[in-house]
Structures are given as C-alpha cells and as structure tokens.
Amino acid sequence: MKIKHCEWCDSQFESDISYQIYCSVSCREQATKEKIAARYALARRAKRMGKKKLCKSCGQPISVYNDFDLCQACDINPIDVAKALRQIKGISNGKDIPE
C-alpha cells in the first residue's frame, strides 16, 4: 500500500492503484465537475475572443458584444421599415401613398 494525498481534499489515503488520485468517489466527482466548469468557461471566452460576428443583413463584422445580429447601419427603426414597406406596396399597387 502506498500513502497518497487526495488531489481534491488533500487528505491521506492508501492505494495500490497508480492512477488513483482522489480518496473517494465524491472527491473525484467534485474535481471532475470543477474541471468541466473551468474548461467550459475557457471555451466560452475563447469563442468570444476569436469569433467575429457578422451582420445578418450586409455581412459587415460587428462587435461580439452587440447582442443583435445587425450592424448599426442595418439596425434601423422597425417603424421606418414598416413605413418603407407600406410605400413600396403602395407604389406596386399603382396607388397614391397616403400621408
């Protein structure tokens, strides 16, 4: 038997298994959870740093901190869009655009 120190809680335990680094199942589970969380946080950060976000409308790169999918130039007021659509419809119908 060899005396080992648990990688998680640092308590001593005896084991003949060379790859056993945790004293108990719960220590191993907690350490695993921690590792996964750390890796997940790192991956998320890397994604934010490395990935460029592109405008859905014109394809221009936009800030990753912009939560919308459009650049400032394309991110127009929805009321303006509705008005423009109404005008286009009015023209295609051959009618006068009501003011």
Stretch that binds Zn ion, among 17-25, 28-36, 45-53, 76-84 (CB under 5 A): 17-25
**Judged by CB under 5 A, does residue 71 bind Zn ion?**
yes
Nearer to Zn ion, 38 or 58 (CB): 58
Nearer to Zn ion, 59 or 90 (CB): 59
**Strand, coil or helix: 80:** helix
| Contact residue for Zn ion among 57, 63, 66, 87 (CB under 5 A) | 57
**Strand, coil or helix: 79:** helix
DSSP, residue by residue, 16-66: S-TT---SSHHHHHHHHHHHHHHHHHHHHHHHHHHPPEE-TTT--EE-TT-
Residues that bind Zn ion (CB under 5 A): 6, 8-9, 23, 27, 55, 57-58, 60, 71, 74
